[in-house]
Structure 1
Amino acid sequence: MPDSGPLAVLEALPRVPAVVAREIDPADGWPGVDDPEGLRAQIADWLSQYANAGTRRTYAYALGLPVAWTDALTGADPALTGTPPSRRPPPARPGPLHHLAWFRWCAGRGLDPRAATGSEVKAWLHALDATGAEKRTRQRMLSTLSAFYGHLTETGVVPANPAALNRARLGLSRSVRDASPTIRLTAEQLGALLGAAARLPNRTRHRELYARRAVAVVGLLTLGLRVSELVGLDRDDLVVTGGEPVLRVLGKGGVRREVYLTELAAVALRAYLEERDRTAGTSTPAVRGRTAAARTPLIATRDGGRCSRFDVNALLRRVALTAGPALADVAEKVHPHALRHAYVTIALEQDARIQHVQADVGHASIATTQYYDRGRRTRGTTAADLVAAAITGTQPD
């Protein structure tokens, strides 16, 4: 890494009261940490346990680490590092909780994260609550922190996990009675999103490319993919097995699953890739095994770089805002996870077997691995066609 400052790890903190955070000059080192290189190595050791780059980025971002630093730290994606800085998507704009990411919060107090106690973790959680962080946000951030300290405990860096707190007392215990904040999209609304994506306003000469990409993104999200899974897909992950087009998706925990393409998604993806190759002047896709085709993103930026989850989120929001009356009341709340949520609810409404739905979306609660077995996974054991038929108003094959 070219930058030797440990808080090349952290972006400069926003100008907020000193009790919360303060500006940091990377050359000054990591506030409160005597051996920043050691901490960096311990963070790298923890993150490198996760095979999925999306998981590593999500965990690092939640704790306040820049995504680019995380990629370089854990063995960056060649497709990403090979992209000139000018072509990479800009970092996400800091939100209201930016300065309360755990490492920034500790840095603002000159606290070595390895010296933190349960009292500091509780103070941090209360600060999140006071800033307006939702319960699910606090649950997720605490879970990430607990995973980090669990690793430090296992490796003998800290004597105990300070994030292993009584969640019930903190009001953070999980309950099936908790209402999901995710909006519930109907099949008709997903159809409206697809129509709006095809008509997405764009005055550049690449209007057709952008419109087809938007349709492909919405189409793929109707398969129940996580946004991190979508942006992590390469063209090499699109294969034909058993005579059916399939996406080999790397999900949470490094578990791969096969996601069957519906006709809806397959047509949209094919149209996008054809237009993308035509625009790029590529008449024949690169041959697998002979070129760098395996690292070519399935969904790409105009210059061929890998889209970020923020790119997809922004694109979907633009599509929703132009979708007309069908989404007028919920357009501002549409995000990738809402489409994943819709996949599950629509599939169950169509009487799909719940085991098939769980296998389709890769839920961790699957009791057995039989649905990941390629011998058992067939066209008849996916709910994808039922969902596509509901969206298009047709009968499944």
Structure 2
Amino acid sequence: MPTDLDALVVLETLRAVPATAEPVEDWPGVEDPAELQAQIADWLTQYANPGTRKTYAYALGLPVAWVDAVTGPVGQGATTGGPASADGRRSTAAETSGLGGAGTPPPVGRVGVLHHLAWFRWCAGRGMDPRAATGGDVKAWLHQLDAAGAEKRTRQRMLSTLSAFYGHLTEAGVVPANPAALNRARLGLGSTARDASPTIRLTAGQLRALLDAAAELPNRTRHRDLYARRAVAVVGLLTLGLRVSELVGLDRDSLVLSGGEPMLRVLGKGGLHREVYLTDLAATALTDYLAERDRTSDAATPALRGRTSANRAPMIATRGGGRCSRFDINALLRRIAVQAGPALAEVADRIHPHALRHAYVTIALEQDARIQHVQADVGHATIATTQYYDRGRRTRDTTAADLVAAAIQAAGTDTPASREG
């Protein structure tokens, strides 16, 4: 039986498979790996959003580069392997790290501590064809993830991804039933009562501190102004409640005028577009960044225009003009948070793009915005998802705990002993 390490090596060879090459012929436990890969590609290509395809592929243990190869380049700019520079050559790691501006290499190829337990890798390590898996196999996998320290939310997401994959195979007649269609409540993965989000809660003051720190981001190159304005633009756009996948997927022609108002046409989950109005704060940050970018690259593209003059260049770009990755944005945000000083000292190591999206919802609800408006702003599929963020409104003044404690203490003053005294 092959070892887990053997399985990792075999699956990693998929990285070298270009779109026109023959599929890898060896996959532990799989007699027809080419057919399995074709079925996986057929499933992934159902999703219009490239971020969704990459997220699902990574969750199952597939190299993201292989996904780009078999499903076509990311519709809004591939980031794997480094973006192409202005002269067409492939950027180096140092160039790709232009967000930092100081030569900090991006985490290209970095994998999480649980990546060896991703489903396809787990199956390959046991010499098992994923299409032969049973519900018992899926449960054994989940228990191993639990033993390895995977949080409940992580296991929920991984099981959901697996269920989506097998749901497709079931519809296609490849497997007789979905082995991942398990009773989640019995597995402790039920979602009827949602747990409190582990995402840190940022205040409006902390968001202001992030913006100020972004503007002063240290950089010793001649492109200091460009990097600083890009950093401010990134934070400014994230304060609109965008997902990081939506941010990196924006093109310059995503910025449009509608009714005289600047807005972003955003591609969200499920391939659905929504319109996100620009605040003055975000509009100023974005316009300043694009103007500086055009100035330094000698481009004549205007910073704001309608859809008639489309420009497919990425909205947020590397120094060479390529598309930034989610990892780039995450690393940049951490750098900014560290630079922000005391205001974010206690949470700087936990800052990530979703924290700003989370902050948008909680601050909006605290300001008594209509929940339907907030739902539309951030692209939640249901009001229930937006309501989940209401936990951010929990303060000392909105809990009954003190009232209960006061009643208990008051009752203690009315005991027989107190009356005798």
Normalising by structure 2, report the TM-score. 0.79
Is 1:92–1:310's contact at 8 Å kept on the other side of the alignment?
Answer: no
* Match of residue 80 from structure 1: 78
**CA distance in 2: counterparts of 1:356 and 1:22, whole angstroms:** 48
* Match of residue 327 from structure 1: 344
Which of 6, 30, 33 is the equivalent residue of 2:30? 33
Shift of 1:52: 1.1
Shift of 1:204: 1.3
* Match of residue 271 from structure 1: 288
SS of the residue aligned with 2:34?
helix
**CA distance in 1: counterparts of 2:367 and 2:298, whole angstroms:** 43
Is 2:255–2:306's contact at 8 Å kept on the other side of the alignment?
Answer: no
Which of 80, 101, 112 is the equivalent residue of 2:129? 112
Is 1:22–1:108's contact at 8 Å kept on the other side of the alignment?
Answer: yes
SS of the residue aligned with 1:240?
strand
* Match of residue 370 from structure 1: none
User: 1:24 aligned to 2:9?
Assistant: yes
Q: Alignment length, in residue pairs?
A: 350
**CA distance in 1: counterparts of 2:7 and 2:170, whole angstroms:** 29
**CA distance in 2: counterparts of 1:18 and 1:40, whole angstroms:** 21
Give 1:3-152 correspondences, 5 Å limit: 18=3, 22-25=7-10, 26=13, 29-77=26-74, 79-80=77-78, 83=84, 84-87=89-92, 91-152=108-169
* Match of residue 228 from structure 2: 211
Is 1:21–1:99's contact at 8 Å kept on the other side of the alignment?
Answer: no
> C-alpha offsets along residues 236-265 of structure 1, whole Å, 9 cap, x if unaligned?
110000110010001111111000000000
SS of the residue aligned with 1:295?
coil
**CA distance in 2: counterparts of 1:215 and 1:160, whole angstroms:** 49
**CA distance in 1: counterparts of 2:283 and 2:307, whole angstroms:** 24
Letter in 1 for 2:375: Q
Which of 161, 170, 188 is the equivalent residue of 1:171? 188
**CA distance in 2: counterparts of 1:281 and 1:272, whole angstroms:** 14
Letter in 2 for 1:67: V
Letter in 2 for 1:64: G
> C-alpha offsets along residues 306-356 of structure 1, whole Å, 9 cap, x if unaligned?
111111111111111111111111111111001000000000000100000
* Match of residue 391 from structure 1: none
**CA distance in 2: counterparts of 1:116 and 1:172, whole angstroms:** 20
Letter in 2 for 1:98: H
Is 2:317–2:323's contact at 8 Å kept on the other side of the alignment?
Answer: yes
**CA distance in 2: counterparts of 1:283 and 1:294, whole angstroms:** 11
1:303/1:144 CA distance change after superposition, 3 Å: same
* Match of residue 102 from structure 2: none
Shift of 1:37: 1.2
Shift of 1:19: 5.4
RMSD of Structure 2 on Structure 1 (CA): 2.2
**CA distance in 2: counterparts of 1:245 and 1:54, whole angstroms:** 25
**CA distance in 1: counterparts of 2:234 and 2:374, whole angstroms:** 20
Shift of 1:90: 5.5
* Match of residue 205 from structure 2: 188
* Residue range with higher mean Cα deviation, 282-291 or 34-43: 282-291
Identical residues among aligned pairs (%): 76
> C-alpha offsets along residues 41-97 of structure 1, whole Å, 9 cap, x if unaligned?
111111111111111111111111222221221121364388244356662412211
Letter in 1 for 2:41: A
Is 1:21–1:109's contact at 8 Å kept on the other side of the alignment?
Answer: no
* Residue range with higher mean Cα deviation, 170-179 or 225-234: 170-179
* Residue range with higher mean Cα deviation, 171-180 or 200-209: 171-180
Shift of 1:21: 6.0
SS of the residue aligned with 1:174?
coil
* Residue range with higher mean Cα deviation, 259-268 or 322-331: 322-331
Letter in 2 for 1:69: W
**CA distance in 1: counterparts of 2:200 and 2:282, whole angstroms:** 22
For structure 1, which runs of at least 5 residues remain unmatched after alignment? 1-16, 368-397
Shift of 1:207: 1.1
**CA distance in 2: counterparts of 1:57 and 1:357, whole angstroms:** 27
* Match of residue 378 from structure 2: 361
**CA distance in 1: counterparts of 2:275 and 2:194, whole angstroms:** 31
1:19/1:283 CA distance change after superposition, 3 Å: closer
**CA distance in 1: counterparts of 2:5 and 2:26, whole angstroms:** 18
SS of the residue aligned with 1:239?
strand
SS of the residue aligned with 2:264?
strand
Greater Cα radius of gyration, structure 1 or 2 = 2
Letter in 2 for 1:63: L
* Match of residue 19 from structure 2: none
**CA distance in 2: counterparts of 1:363 and 1:289, whole angstroms:** 25
Is 1:288–1:294's contact at 8 Å kept on the other side of the alignment?
Answer: no
